[in-house]
Amino acid sequence: MIESLCVFCLVLGLGISASAKTRKKSKNRKEVAARKLARQEREAAMRQSLLLALYQTNAVTGDFSTNSGQQIRVRSNSSQLTGGAAAELLLGSGLESAAPGIRPAVAAGDLIISEFRVRGPSGMNDEFIEIYNASGADHTVAAVSGSGYGIAASDGVTRCSIPNGTVIPNRGHYLCVNSLAYSLASYPAGNGTTATGDASYTADIPDNAGIAIFNNNTGGASYTLANRLDAVGSSAEANTLYKEGTGYPALVPFSIDYSFYRDNCGKGGSITTFGNCTIDTPKDTNNNAADFIFVDTNGTSAGAGQRLGAPGPENLSSPIQRNSSISNALLDPCVGKASPPNQVRDFTSDPPNNSTFGTLDIRRTFTNNTGGNVTRLRFRVVDLTTFPAPSGIADLRPRTSTSVVVTVDRPPCGSGTSNITVVGTTLEQPPSQPNGGGFNSSLGAGTVTLGTPLANGASIDLRFLLGIQQTGNFKFYVNVEALP
C-alpha cells in the first residue's frame, strides 16, 4: 500500500555581505549563466520531442489534432475512452548529433549532474551521482589541472573523478557511486551490462548537502565558481558554490528508494498539468528547485514534492536518448487510434498488479532509422498521471506485459487481415517497484539484443500496459533510449 507521511521541510536563511569578493562571484555567476543560456538556445533551435502523448479528440469521429495536448477520460463503465481518445507518438528532428566529432574543451553546463541521491534503502551510504553530457557532442575529459574532473561534496572532499581521456558520448552518462552500500548496481544498462559505477567512493555525503563537478580534481583553491561545471544542493546547504539558486527543498532523511532527477518534460513533475512536453532533454536553468524532480517507489511525502516514480541511474554503457531516429506508426493504420488493436481497454480488475480498474494497452510499431543496427531499446517515462492523483485525474501504473498475437488490417486497407505478434515491454528493476512504475521508470524491449538486433529500416511491434488505480483524465509520455 502507498502511504503518505506528514513531514516538514527545513530551510536555512543565508546572509551575504557585499564585499568585493562577493561582487566578483556574482559577476562569475552571470558569465556562467550567460554561457548556459546561449548553449540552451542553440539546443532549443534543434530540439523537438518524441513524446507518447495521450489526448482527447475534438470530434467523436476520431479526427485528431496532432499537438492538441488535450485530455482523455478513462471511464470505469465504458468499453471505450470518452471522445474516441487515442495514443499518438509525436516525433521530433535534429536530435542525433548537434556537432560531429569530439569536443576537447569543457564549459559550465556542458556536463551536468542529471540524477543523484545521498541516501537509500541500504542507509546513508546508498548513494549515486549521475553526470550527463549536455554539450551537443561527444566529450573527451581534459582537466585544467590534476588527473580528471572532480565530483565533490560541499565539505570540499572529492568523492570521485572522471579520468582524463574518458569519452562521454553526446547525451551519454557517467556514474559515480558509494561502493559501501549502493543498491542499484543490478538496474539494467547496456547490452549485458548493469548500472554499476564508472567510479566509486566510500565517504558518505551528508543528507541535504551540496554536490558539484569541477573542471579539475586538484581540489582546495581549485574548486571555485570559475572552475565549476555544475552543482546541486538543498535549501539547507550554506555553501552557495555547491548549489544553484536557493536549492531544492531539503528532505527529511528517510532511507527510501528515491532520487532527484532533472525534469526532461518541462512540467516540473506535475501530475495535474496537461499538454505536450516542452523539452525532452534534462532541464538546466541554474535553479535546482525548478530543474529537479523528486521521486520514490512508494510516492512518499518527504519534503520535496510527492509522486510515484523510481531512480534510474545510468552509466557509460547505458542507452542514449534517440527520439529523432526511431519513428513510430499505428499498429493497424486502417483503423482509428482509439480502436483495437491500436488501443485496448480491459476492465478486468487486478488489484495485485496495480490494476484495480483494469488496464489500458497501447500498441505501436517502431522503425529503426538510425542508419545501423539497434541492439538495445527501452522507453523512459517522463510524464504521466499517477499517485497521488486528485479526484478526476487517473492514477496510472506502468507494468510489465507479455507478447500477444493480434489481427491487423494493413495497407492496402480492406485487402485482407493478418496475425502479428506484439512484443511486451518489461518494467526494469531494481529498484523493486511493488506499486508499479511511475516517473523516471523505464520499460525495456527485451527482444532487441546484440544477438537479435533491430536492423536499420526494420520495425518492431510493441505494447505499453498501464494499470489503472483511479479513473479520470490522464497523460503518458516517454523518451526513446537506444544503443547501436
Would strands 359-368 and 343-346 be described as parallel, antiparallel, or unpaired? antiparallel
List the chain pLDDT tens, one digit each, 484 residues. Answer: 332 222 222 221 222 222 333 344 444 555 555 555 555 544 443 333 333 433 332 222 222 222 223 333 343 333 333 323 333 333 322 233 333 344 447 899 999 999 999 999 999 999 999 999 999 999 999 999 999 999 999 999 999 999 999 999 999 999 999 999 999 999 999 999 999 999 999 999 999 999 999 999 999 999 999 999 999 999 999 999 999 999 999 999 999 999 999 999 999 999 999 999 999 999 999 999 999 999 999 999 999 999 999 999 999 999 999 999 999 899 999 999 989 999 999 999 999 999 999 999 999 999 999 999 999 999 999 999 999 999 999 999 999 999 999 999 999 999 999 999 999 999 999 999 999 999 999 999 999 999 999 999 999 999 999 999 999 999 999 999 999 9
Residue 338's pLDDT is 87
Give the model's pLDDT for residue 69: 30
In 3D, which of 211, 441, 121, 120 has the Cα closest to residue 312? 441
Amino acid at 219: G
> Taking the mean position of all CA atoms in its chain, how far away is CA 124?
24
Q: CB–CB of 152/199 below 8 Å?
A: no
DSSP 119: -
Q: Tell me the domains of the chain and their CATH numbers.
A: 45-96+322-483 (no CATH), 100-316 (2.60.40.1260)
223: helix, coil or strand? coil
* Placement of cell 477520460 in the chain: 73
Helix (H, G, I), strand (E, B) or coil at 436: coil
CB-based contact 331:405 (threshold 8 Å) = no
pLDDT reported for residue 202: 98
Instruction: Please choose, from the candidates 356, 265, 253, the residue with its C-alpha nearest in 3D space to the C-alpha of residue 296.
Output: 253
For residue 215, give the nearest of 231, 226, 200, 205 by alpha carbon.
226
What is the residue whose three cell numbers read 548549489?
Answer: 243
Q: Which three cell numbers stand for residue 215?
A: 573542471
pLDDT given at position 122: 98
3-state secondary structure of 51: strand
Calpha distance 108→28 (Å, rounded): 11
pTM: 0.82
CB within 8 A of 214, min separation 6: which ones?
149, 150, 151, 152, 222, 223, 227, 228, 229
Extract the C-alpha cell encoding 149: 574532473
Q: Which residues, 6 or more positions from 34, have their beta carbon under 8 angstroms from its beta carbon?
A: none
